[in-house]
Amino acid sequence: MLQKEDIAIDVACNLLKGLTAQIKDCRDTIENEVLEEAKQSCLALNVDPSFKEVRNRKKKIFFDEKCEDESSEISQHKKFKLALLQVNDRIEAELERRFQSMQKVNEMFGFLSPKQLTTLDNKTLREKATTLANLYRDDLDKDELSVEIESFKYSVIGSDNLAGSESKKSKLNSTALDFLNYLYTTGLHENYSNLTTALRIYLTLPVSVAWNERSFSKLKIIKNYLRNLTKQDRLSNLAVIYIEHEKASKISYNDVIKTFAAKKRKIKLK
């Protein structure tokens, strides 16, 4: 789901938060659930579901050692439990480590959500707007962005017309994409140009590069040994057709042929 090309960062962060919370909650119950599922699989395959006890090896004790190795006294059931907990903790740690940058970006643009616009005070909103505008100096004006955010907070979100409309409320309390669509459908994008630009920047930031990597890996299939003399223009056109294969599949060949036949051809005669 995180590898979809149209997924936004705020949606991805919410999904990751839910996944991390689910992993933390199942830490105490993962042992019983996995054991029960493993027992059912063993019974279906006519395999003994009990753990086989391994004979403990006797370790030679030297004069300066106080006790034997404790690992030899751990049962197979306890080793299995420790392995499950290690896997669970490793997944949780990797999720937090790999998506730290995404969380930072979401915190940077998070104040643009209608929910935070209504809860944060004006001073905090101005500080966050100034920080964001300083990062995108060529696209955003910090003074105008602060004014537009405060104006939108009081004139649109806090207006009486919006308070009585449940459909508008639901749109403003949803994702950043729905918020941007609301600005365009109501015609407010012209009045709040900096706010609209900030939302567009936020929504165009990719969640992952899996889609791009998958597209470029197709070049190995396109340019095979039969097409080793393919020039750059033709290779780029073939790659674009593959990348936009959903749109390309809807194109009618008859329309393309008619368009090509209707064009005037200039034949150069030597």
Q: What is the pLDDT of residues 103-141, one digit of tens each?
A: 888 788 888 877 777 778 888 888 888 888 888 888 888
Low-confidence ranges of the chain (pLDDT < 70): 1-6, 8, 54, 56-59, 63-73, 156-174, 206-215, 266-270
pTM, two decimal places: 0.56
Strand runs (DSSP E) across 63-140, as ranges?
Answer: none
Give the pLDDT score at 159: 55
Q: Helix, strand, coil % (nearest 5) of the chain?
A: 65, 0, 35
Give the pLDDT score at 97: 81
Residues recorded for the chain = 270
Give the pLDDT score at 163: 41
CA distances from 157 to 125, 154, 173, 255 (A): 15, 6, 10, 48
| CA gap 104, 83 in Å, rounded | 32
| CA gap 227, 51 in Å, rounded | 57
- Furthest C-alpha separation in the chain: 102
Contacts 24+ apart (CB under 8 A), 29-35: 30/84, 30/85, 30/88, 31/81, 31/84, 31/85, 34/84, 35/80
